[in-house]
Structure 1
Amino acid sequence: MLSSTIVRGDTAFPLPPVPAGTSLELAKHYTLMARSFASDDTDQWQHSKQAIRDFRPNCGADLATKLIAALHEMAPFLTNGSTGDAAINPGEFPTDLAFQMIAVAVNDALHMDTRSEWNRRLAAFDEARAADIAHAKLHGIDWGLPKEQLEAGYAMASKEVLEEDDRLGDVAGEAEDSLMEWPAPDATAFALKVLLAHGRMIDRYDDIVLAEAKHFSGRASR
Structure 2
Amino acid sequence: MSAILSLVMALCSAGDHVLVSQSVFGSTISLFEKYFKRFGVQVDYVPLANLAGWEQAIKPNTRLLFVESPSNPLAELVDIGALAEIAHARGALLVVDNCFSTPALQQPLKLGADIVMHSATKFIDGQGRCMGGVVAGRNEHMKEVVGFLRTAGPTLSPFNAWVFLKGLETLNLRMRAHCANAQALAEWLEQQDGVEKVHYAGLPSHPQHELAKRQMRGFGAV
Give the structure-2-normalised TM-score.
Answer: 0.28
- Which is helix-richer, 1 or 2? 1
- Which is strand-richer, 1 or 2? 2
